[in-house]
């Protein structure tokens, strides 16, 4: 697979446009600052009552109400939460973005599942960072960048791909590597990774390990350090050296236990469950279920948050993190 770098991009394309960024959250905060520092004319679209107005203005960014920001731009970046994007497109972007404009997404979800069907005269592109907003900004400021993925859904102008590469340049992705993908591939792999590995898989693995030790009579504090706290140390090693490199860096006892025991925890049953999750993502069943959850005002999410907050691993963890002088979140 070919990777694209700064030399493969044309910075003049995005610098020639006026860009409206909708949202000043995790990605909006990072991407608008990166655009500004890359010499791009950027205006933030924020609701009148937004608490972000003051910090955005303090960061030297121009701020307007969303409809006005869109009307004054030829590129609109959708950095509001995925669940509100269809309404924001319908009410703010569709009626106000000038003919021939471009719409940029950081995640393919709403286009892939057809929750937004943009006007045919628009370029519709994706520039998805492989990192959370904080990293997108911190890496850019440090002269590096996080990798990014680009894709083209609609190429009305004939130059949508070049514009996507140019936008990726402005975010620093060309310093780390830009991969060309599709809205479908980015959406399905992203959902799968967060469900099976990064969020759902990891949190349930940690909780199951913690509960097993506590149920067997071990001190919750010790179980917390072993099963949660040390995850970061191992993740950092895997990030820096890969799985094989991590295994070569740990003790022979830990390495032997990994080879002989790990597949008993994540065995054929877990792999079958992963294939089932992927099937639900690809069929649209997960997206339909999420849609019902959002329409019902997030009952599962609210109950999950309450249960997680009340769990022993959280109360013990909050106390231990406090004592270690780390910020509580």
In the DSSP assignment, the letter for residue 328 is P
Q: How far is the CB of 84 from ligand NAP (least distance, A)?
A: 4
CA 113 to chain centre: 17
> Which C-beta is closer to ligand NAP: that of 190 or that of 210?
190
Neighbour count for residue 143 (Cβ, 10 Å): 8
Please state, as a whole number, how many other Cβ atoms lie within 10 Å of the Cβ of residue 168. 29
Query: Rounded to 5 degrees, what are φ and ψ at 73?
Result: -120, 165
What x-and-dash track marks residues 94-133 binding ligand NAP by CB under 6 A?
------------xx--------------------xx--xx
Site string for ligand NAP, 174-193 (x = CB under 6 A): --------------------
Residue of 262, 255, 256 whose CA lies nearest to 237: 255
Residues in contact with ligand NAP, shown as a per-residue x/- string from 41 to 80 under the rule CB under 6 A? -----xx--xxx-------------x------------xx
Query: Can you tell me which of 59, 84, 156, 312 binds ligand NAP, judged by CB under 6 A?
Result: 84
Residue 150 Cβ vs ligand NAP, minimum distance, rounded to whole Å:
13
The one among 33, 88, 122, 163 contacting ligand NAP by CB under 6 A? 88
CB of 129 to ligand NAP, least distance (A): 5
The dihedral over CA atoms of 31, 34, 39, 40, expressed in degrees to the nearest 10, equals 0
Taking the CB of residue 242, how many other CB atoms lie within 10 A of it?
11
Closest contact distance (angstroms) between CB of 69 and ligand NAP is 10
Which of 107, 112, 153, 173 is catalytic? The answer is: 107
Among 4, 14, 19, 23, binds ligand NAP (CB under 6 A): 23
Which one of the spans 26-34, 230-238, 246-254, 310-318 is the region binding ligand NAP (CB under 6 A)?
26-34
Count CB neighbours of 198 within 10 A: 12
Candidates 89, 68, 69, 67; CA nearest to 78 is 89
Q: Which of 80, 29, 30 is nearest to 54 (CA)?
A: 29
144 belongs to the catalytic site: no
Q: Is 229 in the site for ligand NAP (CB under 6 A)?
A: no
Report the Cα–Cα distance between both ends of the chain, in Å, rounded: 39
The residue ranges that bind ligand NAP (CB under 6 A) are 22-28, 46-47, 50-52, 66, 79-82, 84, 88, 106-107, 128-129, 132-133
């Amino acid at each position: 697979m070919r990777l694209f770098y700064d030399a493969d991009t044309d910075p003049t394309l995005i610098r020639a446009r006026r860009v409206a960024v909708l949202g000043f959250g995790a990605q909006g905060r990072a991407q608008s600052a990166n655009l500004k520092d890359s010499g791009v004319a950027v205006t933030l679209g924020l609701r009148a009552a937004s608490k972000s107005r003051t910090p955005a203005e303090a960061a030297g960014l121009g701020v307007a109400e969303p409809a006005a920001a869109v009307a004054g731009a030829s590129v609109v970046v959708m950095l509001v939460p995925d669940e509100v994007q269809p309404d924001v497109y319908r009410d703010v972007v569709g009626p106000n973005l000038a003919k021939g404009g471009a719409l940029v997404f950081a995640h393919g979800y709403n286009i892939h599942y057809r929750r937004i069907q943009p006007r045919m005269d628009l370029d519709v592109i994706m520039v998805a960072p492989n990192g959370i907003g904080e990293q997108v900004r911190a890496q850019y400021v440090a002269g590096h960048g996080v990798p990014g993925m680009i894709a083209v859904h609609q190429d009305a102008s004939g130059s949508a791909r070049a514009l996507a590469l140019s936008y990726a340049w402005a975010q620093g992705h060309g310093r780390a590597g830009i991969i060309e993908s599709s809205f479908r591939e980015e959406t399905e792999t992203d959902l799968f990774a967060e469900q099976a590995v990064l969020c759902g898989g990891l949190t349930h693995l940690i909780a199951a390990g913690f509960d097993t030790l506590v149920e067997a009579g071990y001190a919750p504090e010790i179980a917390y350090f072993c099963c949660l706290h040390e995850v970061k140390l191992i993740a950092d090693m895997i990030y820096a050296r890969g799985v094989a490199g991590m295994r070569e860096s740990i003790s022979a006892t830990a390495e032997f236990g990994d080879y002989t025991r790990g597949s008993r925890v994540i065995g054929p049953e877990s792999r079958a469950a992963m294939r089932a999750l992927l099937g639900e993502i690809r069929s649209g069943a997960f997206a339909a279920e999420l849609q019902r959850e959002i329409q019902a005002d997030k009952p599962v999410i609210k109950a999950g948050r309450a249960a997680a907050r009340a769990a022993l691993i959280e109360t013990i963890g909050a106390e231990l993190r406090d004592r270690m002088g780390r910020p509580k979140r």
